């Protein structure tokens, strides 16, 4: 992306994110991947720089940036550390955004401001063991009681489910209309009855904890209902549109990092008397890798600009997420190929990047779900 297409503010935010990511995150990404501890200090540092409240207005503790600036920053962080890039996207897109658009004044004061300032961390609980892509299949129940609701059920693949300070939990209430059953609740993990059943051992994104969470008669007061009773489905779908832009940005960052490592290696590694970048097979592979990275970034920025203009971009967000996530896995795989046997070793960053990139085709809606969204739009427009 040529700098001339960015505003001065957008360039400043990107450069600030890049400096922090390369100086603070990149040198220790491999060690964090091996240890797997929750990166509380790194997240707090991101918050201190304003990167956890990017889309939140200044009067609520954020920086009030536009969506192009947001995806630029996520790309930079993910290029340095895929796990923290994923957590940044979750924090801004799936937790802070619904609180900004649907939270009450009390909820914004109690949760949104400290989230935006990086003083607390958030989680998002939609998926269940038997309800992934089909949100209508949610089995977690919210039973009406005096002063609020009691939640019972199980959430699966819940990022930050153990270490978060507040979680957005989706559960069903009694209603004849299936679209008016799902309700979003703000639930502190310290609540009695909230328990982490398991922290999953994953292929990648090792410091972004992924949990199975049990909810056993968890009391949630009325003032912790996010939005309206029965309004959770629309809230979730609207939130996932922004979430997909965040995952697309994470994917672009991972793909760019994989390409950069492969390009640098190809400039240094010599075989048959010349640098391997000069072998046509390697040069062509790198050319295709760069093309994928640049194309994914350009379309992502197009979708972000649509959102900045206040235009609906559900289909564009799906296309950006689909193309960027599938490109990230391919580019990361090709980066390993450029490295040869060394690329398969944990001593080289491309091994970690490949593992981190694989999830991008799955979460925030699988590639098949993105294709369903695009196809549905085609069926409407004829």
Q: How far is CA 200 from CA 149, 161, 349, in A?
A: 29, 11, 23
Question: What is the Cα–Cα distance from 111 to 296, expressed in whole angstroms?
Answer: 34
Res 235 pLDDT > 80: yes
- Give the tokens for residue 284: 């062509």
Question: What is the Cα–Cα distance from 226 to 155, expressed in whole angstroms?
Answer: 18
Kindly list the catalytic residues. Answer: 364
Question: What is the Cα–Cα distance from 241 to 235, expressed in whole angstroms?
Answer: 10
Q: Each residue of 263-276: pLDDT tens digit?
A: 999 999 999 999 99
Which residue from 125, 373, 363 is spatially nearest to 250, judged by alpha carbons? 363
Res 291 pLDDT > 60: yes
* Side-chain-facing half-sphere of 204: CA atoms under 13 Å: 26
Q: Each residue of 151-163: pLDDT tens digit?
A: 999 999 999 999 9
Residue 10 CA, distance from chain mean position: 20
Give me the percent of the chain exceeding a pLDDT of 90.
93
Which range (167-176, 260-269, 310-319, 326-335) has the least confidence? 167-176
The DSSP secondary structure of 105-157, one letter per residue, reads HHHIIIIIHHHHTTSS-EEEE--BTTBSS-GGG---EEEEETTEEEEEEEEEE
Q: Each residue of 56-91: pLDDT tens digit?
A: 999 999 999 999 999 999 999 999 999 999 999 999
Using DSSP, state whether 202 is helix, strand or coil.
coil
Q: What pLDDT does residue 3 have?
A: 83
Q: What pLDDT does residue 136 have?
A: 74
Decide: residue 99, CB within 10 A, 0-12 exposed, 13-18 middle, 19+ buried: buried
Q: Each residue of 124-138: pLDDT tens digit?
A: 999 999 887 787 789
Q: How far is CA 135 from CA 195, 205, 212, 248, 306, in A?
A: 22, 24, 17, 21, 26
- Confidence class for position 1, pLDDT limits 50, 70, 90: low
Contact 297, 250 (CB under 8 A): no
Range 247-276 average pLDDT: 97
Q: What pLDDT does residue 382 have?
A: 58
């Amino acid at each position: 992306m040529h700098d001339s297409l960015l505003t001065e503010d957008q360039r400043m935010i990107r450069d600030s994110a890049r400096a922090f990511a390369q100086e603070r995150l990149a040198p220790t990404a491999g060690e964090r991947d091996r240890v797997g501890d929750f990166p509380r200090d790194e997240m707090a540092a991101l918050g201190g720089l304003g990167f956890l409240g990017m889309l939140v207005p200044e009067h609520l503790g954020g920086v009030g940036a536009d969506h192009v600036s947001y995806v630029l920053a996520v790309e930079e962080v993910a290029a340095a550390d895929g796990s923290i890039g994923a957590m940044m996207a979750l924090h801004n897109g799936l937790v802070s955004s619904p609180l900004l658009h649907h939270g009450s004044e009390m909820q914004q004061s109690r949760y949104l401001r400290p989230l935006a300032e990086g003083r607390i961390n958030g989680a998002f609980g939609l998926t269940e063991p038997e309800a992934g892509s089909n949100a209508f299949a949610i089995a977690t129940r919210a039973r009406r009681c005096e002063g609020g609701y009691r939640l019972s059920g199980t959430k699966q693949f819940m990022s930050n489910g153990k270490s978060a300070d507040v979680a957005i939990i989706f559960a069903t209430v009694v209603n004849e209309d299936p679209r008016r059953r799902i309700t979003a609740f703000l639930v502190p993990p310290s609540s009695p009855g909230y328990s982490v059943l398991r922290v999953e051992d994953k292929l990648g994104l090792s410091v972004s904890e992924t949990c199975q969470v049990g909810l056993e008669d968890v009391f949630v007061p009325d003032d912790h209902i996010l939005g309206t009773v029965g309004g959770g489905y629309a809230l979730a779908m609207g939130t996932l549109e922004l979430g997909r832009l965040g995952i697309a940005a994470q994917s672009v960052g991972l793909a760019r990092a994989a390409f950069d490592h492969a390009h640098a290696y190809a400039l240094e590694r010599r075989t048959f008397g010349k640098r391997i970048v000069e072998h046509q097979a390697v040069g062509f592979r790198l050319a295709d890798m760069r093309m994928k990275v640049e194309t994914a970034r350009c379309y992502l920025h197009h979708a972000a600009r649509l959102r900045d203009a206040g235009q609906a971009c559900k289909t564009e967000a799906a296309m950006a997420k689909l193309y960027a996530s599938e490109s990230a896995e391919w580019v990361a795989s090709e980066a390993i190929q450029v490295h040869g046997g060394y690329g398969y070793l944990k001593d080289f960053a491309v091994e970690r990047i490949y593992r981190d990139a694989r999830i991008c085709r799955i979460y925030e809606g699988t590639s098949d779900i993105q294709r369903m969204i695009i196809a549905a739009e085609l069926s409407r427009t004829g």
